Amino acid sequence: MGSAEQDGRIRCAWAENSDAECAYHDAEWGVPLHGDPQLFEMLTLEGAQAGLSWRTVLLRRHLYREAFHGFDIARVAAMEDAELEESFANLVTKGIRWNEHEEFRQLGSDH
């Protein structure tokens, strides 16, 4: 069960822990995704959640968007190995840990 907030909305208890979770709950949670960039983003974020809380993933979401060109599939698919390595190194520098095998599995078998 959720609780009523000042704006009159009823939210699940988990959405009341942070502004990021509240915004996700109100605007995205349970809403079907149809566009390729949106599906790519959600798959990436869901994969990133392994071992992390959803709150942590949401707080770092902007870093994933930056690394993956706003989840533009064509741009990501066209990335050369050096650019991919640089993107992942930047993520690690900003506190996101990646398993090297996860990186390339995430982007597909063509790299």
Alpha-carbon torsion, ordered 52, 57, 63, 66, to 10 deg? 120
Residue of 21, 24, 41, 64 with catalytic role: 24
Residue of 46, 66, 83, 86 with catalytic role: 46
Between CA 23 and CA 33 the distance in angstroms is: 17
27, 30, 62: which is closest to 48 by C-alpha?
62
Looking up tokens 């979770």 gives 21
In the annotation, is 54 catalytic?
A: yes
What positions carry a catalytic annotation?
Answer: 24, 46, 54
